[in-house]
Structure 1
Amino acid sequence: MTAGVPEPHERDNEARHDVTDELLDLEERHSLTRVAGMSTELQDESEVEYRQLRLERVVLVSVWTTGTQADADNAMQELRALAETAGSQVLEGLVQRRSRPDAATYIGEGKVTELREAVVATGADTVIADGELSPAQLRNLEDRVGVKVVDRTALILDIFAQHAKSTEGKTQVELAQLNYMKQRLRGWGESLSRQVGGRAASGVGIGGRGPGETKLETDRRRINTRIATLRKKLRAMDASRALQREERVRHRIPSVALVGYTNAGKSSLLNRLTGAGVLVEDALFATLDPTTRRCRTTDGRVYTLTDTVGFVRHLPTDLVAAFRSTLEESVRADLLLHVVDGSDPDPEGQITAVHEVLRDIGAGERPEQIVVNKVDLASSQSLLELRHNHPDAVFVSAVTGEGLEELRTRTESRLPTPQTSVDVVVPWDRGDLVDKVHRFGEISQDEYLAEGTHLVARVYPDLAGELKPYERA
């Protein structure tokens, strides 16, 4: 409780206990690093504001513009899950019904007062808004509420910063953070005014004339320089990733990508299907770095299975742009396994949100197989509706193993197949070619003859060219 605020009555204590009893245990998150370089505390009035997320005790606020009451409740529950994943304790949530967010304060004038009262009553130190706030909205809300205000974009960036492990992931997150901050730089006082000469300078005279440069402009230039450096660094990483991708394409290795909403169970499915040993955590955005594993079909063909970053409603544009190279695994995949959390209160909303992101990154037309996961936790009514809306979906549980064999069979049946037929006798000293046919082709007949291995198969054109000298007469 903040100083000067009286002790709450007994009924207020009971209400608070009702809220805190529902909160998740976040002790393991306390050791995670917060986003550096975004602090709202100003060292002096000439400093530019950078916001540092040290989320502890927060109040959530949302503007409900469209949809049903259930949609608004689900959106607030998702914001709460995001806040808890970032390491904060959610104390209260406020929702306002409006046709559009208020241009000045995001919420209406009356709700600002109510929000201020909730902050004082709960002793919260942060307000999280379920939307991307303009610099003016951020400043106005903070001035009136008296505590730090964070929007949904900054919250997601904070979570990504906590979970990024690889050099590429950290670089992508930093790039997104800088693009976000660049639009929200602001300064205070006459120390930030542009220097000018002559009468416009109010007679400052010699030494005070000239174009000068504000602190704001200096920081913006430094951020732009850092952004250029990060983009150059990412381009070098893209070249390495492209080389690996070209190698797979050259060998005609089919690729499958696991896509879907965050925390839908993609990493768990990858582990069950391949034994990959990828980190599995009941948290949003636990996976940021893509993991690719080689798999084999029942007839011996090789394909790759990639676990990708999860999506969420209203994923920040800067984040999608920064992670575009990582998301290219989805764009170029031969098949998308769209994993849906069957136990979520709004699985159809998840499906719609994922389709929107896939369209944004250019993967909207890729072949897709919907996989409804967590059937062991889903209600029978929810599963019934999903079966009706998506009759071709596969229903699985990565925990119990239910439906995994059907998923493997369905995945293999939808992989691209080689179309060039060959009938060859490969000499014994060209075992490498026989191995390629087994890995990348479909064999309908093989036998061992005195002169070599007789193969009747379908292969890709480049491998057919290598086998041409050994065609059977």
Structure 2
Amino acid sequence: MADAHVTERAPTRAFVIHPDIDGAGGNRRAAESALEEAVALAEALPGVEIVGAQAVRLRNPSPGQLFSAGKLDEMAGLLAAAEAELVLIDGPVTPVQQRNLEKAWEVKILDRTGLILEIFADRARTREGVLQVELAALSYQRTRLVRAWTHLERQRGGLGFVGGPGETQIEADRRAIDEQMTRLRRQLERVVKTRTLHRASRAKVPYPIVALVGYTNAGKSTLFNRLTGAEVLAKDMLFATLDPTMRAIRLPGGRQIILSDTVGFISELPTELVAAFRATLEEVLEADLILHVRDISHPETEEQAADVAEILESLGVDEDVALIEIWNKIDALSPAIQQALRRADERTEGVQAVSALTGDGLDALQGAIESALEQVLDEPRAAEELRLDFSEGRRRAWLHEAGVVEAEEAAEGGHVIRVNWTARQRAAFEAL
């Protein structure tokens, strides 16, 4: 019989610090909002209990320990009082700073990049996602190899009498990481090739790709679930979705599309992660239409939108690609503001005000998607009459699935079907 007194491991007590650095280039957020987002990030980390949070003003960050000596002592008292075991610093921390802070505060330190990597590692589900996280983590870990103790000076691989001093422990570790990264890149290449084949097979369908993008926690997965009936993880949690999920859906006008839900963007996304997740975001690069989902109820929705635009640009998304801006979460606003937003979206081309949670505005959104795709694809349709034998059931089913059938009647030996389709749909049918 199992021990009834066995309990789950207690969560790690974590304290969140946002360094508010004077004159930080490109920092468009208020310290309070940045701290709030940092706490939300920390809450997305499993097995962690947030026991405190503070924005710390910094005029001149110390190269050795980030904070001044006085602030270091002050924070040490706060951390001890909160009984913190882990400190999450919302910003980059150099290996030397990390080592010195851990020694001064006697806690584990994790910076913004390390925190996001931990979350990504927990959330990644597909083989490609797991490999990308591992690769990014190794790249990050490689920069953490510092000479923390003198024993790292010890020699390996010989006595050092001949041919120089040999390699240090750090060099050996770095070489091992490099070899592991090379293996991961090879595995990732194979996975990406498989995805390329999947994309090629999808191109034969072929349905236009519509990609959902947006700041993390903007409601993309909730909207995806509403439109597709899928059950993608949709929580009020940053980075709830990491791997792109794709579903074929039919719009009210009959057109079928492939809808893709992608990882949420975030300000100051570490460069290692932008590079590592580029392949995951390829669906965005190949999209015929992008749906930019915004949490319009968020106090910094404009800043979040600017962050998304920057990341799309860094990914190489063509600025001419068709885009619909979705003002989501209108249900969180007062009725008066909701009415004002609806009037604004009627006057503003390419904007739709919706609530993915309640379904409000989704009919109009789907109509806007159809209209945008008609303009983007500019595919004229032609009417044609087909005769299919009874044995061609698969081809007949394809026509109905593609939504191109206008009329059908039984005939001797088969069916006479009148279709209205594009040249792309005709080519896909002939390839069956």
TM-score by length of 2: 0.83
Alignment pair present for 1:57 and 2:14: yes
Deviations 1:102-161 (A, max 9, x none): 433333443223222322332222222111112122223333333222111111111112
**2:362 aligns to what?**
404
Separation in 1, partners of 2:366, 2:416: 30
Q: 2:371 aligns with which of 406, 413, 433?
A: 413
Q: What does 1:60-459 align with in structure 2 at a 5 Å threshold?
A: 60-65=17-22, 71-86=30-45, 87-98=48-59, 101-193=61-153, 195=155, 210-365=164-319, 366-379=321-334, 384=340, 391=348, 392-415=350-373, 416-417=376-377, 419-429=379-389, 439-440=401-402, 446=407, 453=416, 455=418, 457-459=420-422
Please state whether the residue corresponding to 1:376 is helix, strand or coil. Answer: helix
Aligned residue type for 1:256:
V
Separation in 1 of the partners of 2:428 and 2:238? 48
Over the residues paired in the alignment, what is the CA RMSD in angstroms?
Answer: 3.3
Report how far residue 208 of structure 1 moved. Answer: 7.7
Q: Percent identity?
A: 40
Shift of 1:424: 3.1
Distance of aligned partners of 1:231 and 1:127 in 2 relative to their CA distance in 1, 3 Å threshold:
same
* 1:38 alignment counterpart: none
SS in 2 for 1:372: strand
CA distance in 1, matches of 2:365, 2:68: 49
Cα 1:123–1:160, aligned 2, differ >3 Å: closer, same or farther? same
User: What letter is aligned with 1:96?
Assistant: R
- Aligned AA (1:346): E
Q: How has the CA–CA distance of structure 1 residues 338 and 75 changed in structure 2, closer, same or farther, with 3 Å as cutoff?
A: same
Distance 1:70 1:254 in 2: 36
DSSP 3-state at the match of 1:259? strand
| 1:290 maps to amino acid | P
Q: Contact between 1:418 and 1:441, CA under 8 Å: does it hold in 2?
A: no
Change (3 A) 1:327 1:162: same
Is the alpha carbon distance of 1:456 and 1:283 closer, same or farther for their aligned partners in structure 2, counting shifts above 3 Å? closer
Structure with greater strand share of residues: 2
Q: Is the 8 A contact 2:206 2:428 kept in 1?
A: no
1:328 is displaced (CA, Å) by 0.6
Alpha carbons 1:126, 1:149 under 8 Å: kept: yes
Please say if residues 61 and 127 of structure 1, whose CA atoms lie closer than 8 Å, have aligned partners that are also in contact: no
Q: Is there any run of 5+ residues in structure 2 with no aligned partner, and where? A: 1-7
Partner amino acid for 1:95? V
Cα deviation, 1:373-412, whole Å, max 9, x if unaligned, reads: 2211135687657975993421111221111111111112
**In the alignment, which residue of structure 2 is the partner of 1:470?**
none
CA contact (8 A) 1:271 1:277 kept: yes
Counterpart CA distance in 2 for 1:272 and 1:386 is 20
Cα gap change, 1:409 to 1:113, in 2 (>3 Å): same
Counterpart CA distance in 2 for 1:250 and 1:132 is 45
User: Secondary structure in 2 aligned to 1:269?
Assistant: helix
Separation of aligned partners in 2, 1:179 and 1:386: 46
Q: 1:385 to 1:55 in 2, by over 3 A?
A: farther
Tell me which structure has the larger Cα radius of gyration: 1
C-alpha offsets along residues 30-83 of structure 1, whole Å, 9 cap, x if unaligned? 889xxxxxxxxxxxxxxxxxxxxx842314232244589972211010001111
Aligned to 1:41: none
- Kindly report structure 1 stretches of 4+ aligned residues shifted beyond 6 Å: 67-70, 449-452
Moved more, 298-307 or 451-460: 451-460
Which residue in the other structure is 2:5 paired with? Answer: none
Q: CA deviation at 1:181?
A: 0.4
Q: Report how far residue 166 of structure 1 moved.
A: 2.9
Output the CA distance in 1 between the equivalents of 2:341 and 2:102.
44
> Which letter does structure 2 place at the counterpart of 1:400?
T
Q: Structure 2 vs 1, CA of residues 449 and 276 (structure 1 numbering), >3 Å: closer, same or farther?
A: closer
- Deviation, structure 1 residue 207: 5.3
CA contact (8 A) 2:155 2:169 kept: no
The range that moved more, 111-120 or 101-110, is 101-110
Structure 1 residues 61 and 428: alpha-carbon distance in aligned structure 2, compared to 1, 3 A threshold: closer
2:93 alignment partner AA = L
Report how many aligned residue pairs link the two structures: 409
